[in-house]
A and B are shown apart, each in its own frame.
Chain A
Amino acid sequence: MRKITRRDAFKLGAGAAALAASSGLAKPGQAQSLSFTPEKGAKLRVLRWKRFVQGDEDLWMANTRKFTEQTGVEVVTEHESWEDVRPKAAVAANIGSGPDIIVGWYDDPHQYPDKLVDLTDLAEYLGDKYGGWYPVAREYGTRQGRWISLPLGAAGNCIVYRKSWMNEAGFDSFPKDTDGLLRLCQALNKNGHPPGFALGNAVGDGNVWTHWLLWSFGGQMVDSNNQVVINSPETINALEYARELYETFIPGTVSWLDAHNNKAFLSGQIGLTANGISVYYAAKTQGSAFVDDIYHANMPVGPVGKPTELNLFTQAMLFSHSKYPNAAKEFLRFMWEKEQYEPWQQAAIGYITQPLKAYESNPVWTADPKHTPYRDTVANMLTNGHAGTLGYSSAAAMADFIVVNMVAEAAAGREAAKDAAARAEKRALRYYKV
């Protein structure tokens, strides 16, 4: 092996510095204080999903203004309904024009990785500075070892329940496992406070809880080689469980889209559901009579013995058609730094759970103990393509509601569990072609 001399080391260092300077790094080599020099006259267009809680938008915009004041870079922020971001991002990628930065969902960046600017330097810097990325954030943000997007976090999903009704049903604390959840739901339903989980083609809530259910019993759409393995005894166990759970639900959940469970919970018709913190936020801001009775718990653990959550994961993509990549990177760095990120999380009462471990200590998670379960949702989650890779197939399979339909068919008794699993397998095979 060749020995590295002092001269070589010097050359290497100079080379690295030159490389860093050419890529716009102003202070190379200092992991704790990285910044990018915006291009002259830079202007940015940022497209993000429209807020679910008002505080999110207020602070996001305040932080953006702060960035403009500090750097002189004008930023135009567009807010789109959350489901419309995906098609817009896809069009931007396809035609090579549009916003510089798009804050999208799940595996979006893995559908057009070659249209995105490499964010490895920025992501590694943030990771080093803020306690590292959670494994799932790294999985979502990287492809073949390079960062293609910058994870913003996930709209965490927890069980939202009425504590007094849980106590009335004979439970002192919230059950930690799926068996306990079933018993609680049965007792709640008996007392006239049934639970309800969305089983319609609900893009957010439907996908989130049905994937948790499938994985918590050890079922999965594909294995690590992207081979379809959904038609398994584990899946069938999950579906049998779903049928028992469904019997306790309020009628009509098969038609539920994303907003139905919020409405039903806030009107006191159901005693338990799975949702983001937005229900609690709405109850608080609207002055609901039972806001003190609303509590949260992490999704229970199934027979696999470890958390298997799916949460609405969101990440920022910087498109290579951007004329101002350095300004865009600087904007992302600025927004992800503690001074901006933590107040933003606080304003949204933790609607978005951080992808960086250091933000676990954000006071928002402990200021109100009811926020605490949401803190761990990213640590507890798997990717939507689990256990395979993220890409076209994982996006297409989820968009086609394969898991949601399978669970709904089996739960509502439209198909026997084994038939529902077989149908799902056939549908999944179309996307995971060899």
Chain B
Amino acid sequence: MAEATIGRPTPQRLSLWARIDNNRTVLGLCMMLPAGALLLVFLSYPLGLGVWLGLTDTTIGRKGGFIGLENYELLFDDSVFWLSVFNTFLYTVVASAFKFALGLWLALILNNRLPFKALLRAIVLLPWIVPTVLSAIAFWWIYDSQFSIISWSLQRLGLIDQYVNFLGDANNARAAVIAANVWRGIPFVAICLLAGLQTIPQSLYEAAVLDGASEWQRFRCVTFPLLTPIIAVVMTFSVLFTFTDFQLIYVLTRGGPFNATHLMATLSFQRAIPGGQLGEGAAIATAMVPFLLAAIIFSYFGLQRRRWQQGAAND
């Protein structure tokens, strides 16, 4: 007991400032302040303003008043809005599924020993590097009702009589814009998954081979489980990019024909800026937030490392 008393430093009366000065929590908060301020000004404020605008009847050039949920009530009764919700989901789900499957496939191919590996990987990245507007213009020509290279080739091969109506038919147009988005999005998925593949220790494969595992079994039991965390991150980003896509649609169809390719993002822009209905446009954009949040939550849980990956049993 006596020892303990001797060992303890004599309590000093510190001034408030000294206590703050010595406090690690305060120091930590100070360090975070610049980043926090940036997030607040450039992220939270615009987001908050967007949500607020969605609750007002603001139009271009006129400050609106608070109208509660009236914009949402109006949208609830708007067939074009619901069509855009449907289109957005269809676009996101189908394009993301294709991007995942083809991207994973491409990553597995690129992970093998190939001649000119570095060059091939660089080439694969091209669609991702080219600005979307430029690639969209290329697709605009590819899908042209009169000058399409695809239609031209198919006709020369004698496979079709009439040019394909790529963007003039609702379902064709949906398929066409999804295909263009998939083309553009594959490299991102492929390169990220490739990076993930290269972190998998070779010894695991060797052990599997010794156990007599087939190629499929090695993929199913080694590659895929170890790739899951990175798949979760990559696909979350991919879904977010696809869900909020704008440029491709804007260049290719402007949401036509008959609004069959209008996404929530393009409709929000059309209503808010050329149409001047800022409040309604903001409401459409805000309506996207819950879906985006769901994707982020999915990624958060996907990111949680499984216990077995840290050496514990997987239950």
Contacts and interface: CB of A to CB of B under 8 A. Distances in A.
Contacts of A45: none
A397 B144 CA distance: 28
Contacts of B167: 200, 252, 255
A399 B259 CA distance: 13
Nearest to B145: A252
A111 B258 contact: no
Interface in B61-79: 61-62, 74, 78-79
Interface in B264-292: 270-271, 273-277
B60 interface: yes
A405 interface: yes
Interface residues of A, number: 44
A430 B74 contact: yes
A205 B125 CA distance: 37
A90 B168 contact: no
Interface stretch (B9-17, B209-217, B226-234, B248-256): B248-256
A311 B257 CA distance: 23
B256 A399 contact: no
A396 B271 contact: yes
Contact of B271 (A86, A264, A400): A400
Interface residues of B, number: 36
B247 interface: no
A395 interface: yes
Contact of B254 (A94, A257, A267, A396): A257
A260 interface: yes
B163 interface: yes
B146 A267 contact: yes
B223 interface: no
Contacts of A90: 60-61, 273, 276
A201 B254 contact: yes
Interface string A263-303: 11001010000000000000000000000000000000000
A392 interface: yes
Contacts of B144: 252, 260, 263
A254 B256 contact: yes
Interface of B: 59-62, 74, 78-80, 143-147, 162-163, 165-170, 173, 253-259, 270-271, 273-277
- Can you list the 8 inter-chain pairs with the closest CB atoms, starting with the nearest? A252-B145, A112-B61, A255-B167, A201-B254, A399-B275, A255-B168, A399-B274, A90-B60
